[in-house]
Amino acid sequence: MSGHLTYQPQNAFMQWMERRLPIAGLVYSSFVVYPTPRNLNYWWTFGGILSFMLGVQIITGVVLAMHYTANVDLAFNSVEQIMRDVNYGWLLRYLHANGASMFFLAAYIHMFRGMYYGSYKEPREVLWILGVILLLLMIMTGFMGYVLPWGQMSFWAATVITNLFSAIPLVGESIVTWLWGGFSVGNPTLKRFYSLHYLLPFVIAGVVVLHVWALHMVGQNNPTGIEPKTDRDTVAFTPYATIKDGFFMVVFCILFAWFVFYIPNFLGHPDNYIPANPAVTPTHIVPEWYYLPFYAILRAIPNKLLGVIALGASIVILAFLPWLDTSKVRSARYRPLYRQFFWTFVIVCIGLGWLGSKPPEGNYVLFARIFTVYYFAYFLVILPLLGKIEKTKPLPNSIAESVLLEGKPIGAPAPPPPLAKA
Amino acid sequence: MSGAGGSRGRLHAGKFTQPAQARLQAARSLRKLVAGGLTEQERDRTVTTMSSAEPTRRDFLYIATASVAAVGAAAALVPLIAQMNPDASTIAAGAPIEVDLTPIADGQVIKVFWRGKPIYVNHRTKKQIEEAENVDVAKLPDPQPDSARVKPGHSQWQVLIGICTHLGCIPIAHQGPYDGYFCPCHGSIYDTSGRIRQGPAPLNLALPPYEFVSDTKIRIG
Amino acid sequence: MVIARTLALAAALAAFTAPARAQEHDTATPPMNKWSFAGPFGKYDRGQLQRGFKVYREVCQVCHGLKLVAFRTLAEPGGPGFTTAQAAAIAAEYQVPAEPDDQGEVKPRPARLADYFPPPFPNEQAARARYNAVPPDLSVIAKARGYERGFPRWVGDMFTQYQEQGVDYITALLQGYQDSPPAGVTLPPGNFYNKYFPGHGIAMPPPLTDQRVEYTDGAPMTVEQYAKDISAFLMWTAEPHLEARKRIGMQVVIFLIVLSGLLYFTKKKVWHEVKLHPEKLTPRPPTEYPRT
């Protein structure tokens, strides 16, 4: 913008306020005049969608907490009371349950976008790592939330996942007892899960603030992977990104509404409508769909401790991505070989998810192992090698140029420009 | 950034007709509201799309979108606020209750609960009824004749909400100089009609909604 | 590499054929029925719900409870459509424990609208002693049961809104009894053979026979009709607000489509100049970058 990048309050009250607590100025510089690459596509809306979904989950969650009772004898019935008696209780419950699925769907797409366009590369490493931390917090929050209705799956998922910690040598059993607050999953476990499930979303909100702060320090990545060079490469966040994000967020809400109103139990498991019974194990214990890939990796390894380590490693390895990928070119748009492996990786993740829903027998186990190998090989072998050996396509000279000429560079192909040192 | 639109805005400003210019100003002030206060210069520069052909249609689109979004936001608030209203089971639990009067002996008071509140059902003796009726109503702190506090033809039945009108304690029945009610918290004294006579309470004991479904049964609520 | 992607796809397809080997049972797949409450405009058939309720009362409630259902809900909109007076009369036919009297004794009293269906047995141990099994409570059973749809049917289900796995399963189960198990299959003592029950040995004896419950509205008094009616009733006990949910859903989805359309055109308008004349964006001196 050729004018002021800072907020200039006009009326007296705002001037008074700005001097004391410059929130309006912060909002103005961060979300109004903030320079945004002009070529962002709709994959970039998922960050905003995630913030929106966090708000939805917190609001519906706080409201549900007014009616829920965290006690093993009362929890299941309190949820049913919400569904039957509380005004719009069925809506709030279905919003919250399906909202968790939408939250994870958006998060995975958001991450795949980052992986495709190299958004984790220098100088966005900390931004990416904060994102991995957010994913871990989301996984913990979702897991504890699922236990609260105290259905069969709630109870047995809690049992299986907390039992994983017993794989830790020496202190494993003590840790599990400590987690349970007893000798098996029971009332103390449910109560503490409720407390932490209420707490963690606010921790997530705090880390989101850090995440957006880290983002604003370095600016958005964009489909070309080239940093903006001039004013022609960017537009003001408001109204351009605001309206584009607003539109796509509403489209996403249509998908959300479709699940909430028409197929609210599609993503769930019927067994969770059976009250928890510690004496009866369900035939197939399965987590919610968003945990299935990790579940498949866990079960693919025949050794209990190594399986747990693989489960943890499959998430933690993401944090090292900025250094594992050695390519100097950010965006997959200009990395044709990388693209092939990337899409294979996406198929492998989906395949692992499907396999996680199947009983661990026969061919299912074989393919889970093959896919797990690819999953780790992608990070540890393929990406480090690719950066060294692949031939990238020539990069455009600037974002504006790529938009102008639809990606074709002017004149002779320019070599990839060196990435600016931090 | 939005400098592009701004420069175009300055170029085009002179080409607009009077009404279009007025609408332009309106759109600008709208944006000023959004942007949170800009100088005249900045406003010119931050003006974005400037379709010289049809500013009306553009404004209408923005206004329509904003109004529809506002309606959506308001509708989204409804369930969040409604869920705090009493739910169906609470309303059902607060449904009218029927009390059988036959087991209540002459001079006996029973206490039932309705909507979480204690209700006294007092089978008054003849003496208590006389004392309640022979009172100079005008001299009472909260003037009310006894006839207004019973159902016609059933003056031996006194149905009251047993919550002291001072600060909400439950008064004890058959206590005090009037053989009425006495509140132990701050010493309010009520008569056999439940009217305040002495003490800090400002009003007579309240009456719940009730009716006689038969001579021996009342429905409270 | 095209090879890598082809391999991955081939592996995936091969995995899909694995199910035949991985399944222990050959449980029959319940046939899909037409339900009045299915689909985006689904509504309960009041007559069917009342018939189903009659089946529950005359056949099922001896063993199965309905403890999450309050009598007052029988008169709620979107349900079987009884009047408040009828619901109160139905409630009065049941006995529930009263508040302890002056001696501390708990005597039974007729149920009121606010009460819930009383359980047929005081606790699980009593049920097990009587039936050798614990008959499950039926309040949410239509949502607590289902069957594997398999890929790619579950993809299609997202679009057709198929949510009736539970009721299809229950309807099939009630009609799925066979007098004797097929050759080579032995059942635990006391169990009955059922085509649709996982493991085939179910502790519940076949509850329905033709003419067992009298219908006064002309509906056929067959096992098939009873099965459908009770399943529909159980869908209502599980999802009493289904009609409101779908009605509000229609309003919400239409609203969102309208809003997204408006936002789309607003977005196009806002971006118009930038898209039309991208080269005219004013270049800013490069000293403005980096941002910090």
- Count helices and strands (H / E) in chain C: 10, 4
pLDDT tens column, A136-179: 999 999 999 999 999 999 999 999 999 999 999 999 999 999 99
Average pLDDT, chain A: 93
Q: Token match 């210069």: residue?
A: B41
Domain with CATH 1.10.287.980 in chain A: 286-394
Examine the residue annotation and report whether B186 is marked as an active-site residue of this protein.
yes
A237 pLDDT above the threshold of 80 = yes
For residue C246, which residues of chain A lie inside 8 Å, CB to CB? Answer: 261-262
Question: Which of B2, B7, B61, B219 to probe the C interface (max C CBs under 10 A)?
Answer: B61
Give how far the C-alpha of residue A197 lies from the chain's centroid of Cα atoms, to the nearest Å: 17
The ipTM value here is 0.91
C25-69+117-240 topology per CATH: Cytochrome Bc1 Complex; Chain D, domain 2 (1.10.760)
Collect the ranges in chain C with pLDDT lower than 50.
14-24, 283-292
Q: Identify the residue with better confidence: A265 or A409.
A: A265
Q: Is residue A131 within 8 Å of residue A222, measured between CB atoms?
A: no
Q: How far C132 CA sits from the closest chain B CA (Å)?
A: 35
Query: Which of B3, B49, B95 is facing C272, going by the closest CB pair?
Result: B49
What does each C-alpha distance from C259 to A43, B66, B219 come to in angstroms? 20, 9, 51
Q: Is the pTM of this model over 0.90?
A: no
Q: Is residue A361 within 8 Å of residue A196, measured between CB atoms?
A: no
Please tell me the total number of residues recorded for chain C in this structure.
Answer: 292
Q: Is A109 exposed, middle or buried (0-12, 13-18, 19+ CB in 10 A)?
A: middle
Q: How many CB atoms within 10 Å of residue A5?
A: 15
B43 pLDDT above the threshold of 80 = no
Question: Which of the four pLDDT bands, split at 50, 70 and 90, describes residue B10?
Answer: very low
Secondary structure (3-state) at C193: strand
pLDDT tens column, B116-147: 899 999 999 998 899 888 888 888 999 999 99
Residue C27 is predicted with a pLDDT of: 86
Residue C5 is predicted with a pLDDT of: 59
For residue B34, which residues of chain A lie inside 8 Å, CB to CB? Answer: 32, 238-239
Average pLDDT, stretch A208-214? 97
B44 pLDDT above the threshold of 50 = no
CA C240, CA A281: separation in Å to the nearest integer? 29
Residue of B nearest to C261 (CA): B65
Secondary structure (3-state) at B109: strand
A29-284 topology per CATH: Cytochrome Bc1 Complex; Chain C (1.20.810)
Tell me the residues of chain C between 72 and 91 that have a Cβ less than 8 Å away from chain A: 73
CATH (residue range A286-394): 1.10.287.980
Judged by CB atoms closer than 8 Å, whether chains meet at C253 and A283 is answered as no
- Chain B contact partners (≥3 CB pairs within 8 A): A, C
Judged by CB atoms closer than 8 Å, whether chains meet at A63 and B83 is answered as yes
Query: Which of B7, B37, B46 is facing A10, going by the closest CB pair?
Result: B37
pLDDT tens column, A319-377: 999 999 999 999 999 999 999 999 999 999 999 999 999 999 999 999 999 999 999 99
Q: Identify the residue with better confidence: A362 or B18.
A: A362
What does each C-alpha distance from B112 to B219, C112, C291 come to in angstroms? 12, 17, 72
A168 phi/psi in degrees, rounded to 5: -65, 130
pLDDT tens column, C175-226: 999 988 888 888 888 899 999 999 899 999 999 999 999 999 999 999 999 9
Judged by CB atoms closer than 8 Å, whether chains meet at C15 and A363 is answered as yes
B73 pLDDT above the threshold of 90 = yes
Judged by CB atoms closer than 8 Å, whether chains meet at A35 and B41 is answered as no
Share of chain A above pLDDT 70, in %: 95
A104 pLDDT above the threshold of 60 = yes
Residue of A nearest to C266 (CA): A243
Q: How far B49 CA sits from the closest chain C CA (Å)?
A: 6
B37 touches chain C (CB under 8 A): no
Question: Which of the four pLDDT bands, split at 50, 70 and 90, describes residue B17?
Answer: very low
Quote the tokens at residue A9.
């309050």
Question: Which of the four pLDDT bands, split at 50, 70 and 90, describes residue A21?
Answer: very high
Judged by CB atoms closer than 8 Å, whether chains meet at C70 and B3 is answered as no
Question: Which of the four pLDDT bands, split at 50, 70 and 90, describes residue A418?
Answer: low
For residue B75, which residues of chain A lie inside 8 Å, CB to CB? Answer: none
A11 pLDDT above the threshold of 80 = yes
Residue A403 is predicted with a pLDDT of: 80
Judged by CB atoms closer than 8 Å, whether chains meet at C5 and A240 is answered as no
Q: Identify which of B211, B205, B204, B169 has the alpha carbon closest to the alpha carbon of residue B186.
A: B169
Question: Which of the four pLDDT bands, split at 50, 70 and 90, describes residue A185?
Answer: very high
Give how far the C-alpha of residue C290 lies from the chain's centroid of Cα atoms, to the nearest Å: 57
Domain with CATH 1.20.810.10 in chain A: 29-284
Q: What does the domain layout of chain C look like in residue ranges? A: 25-69+117-240, 249-280
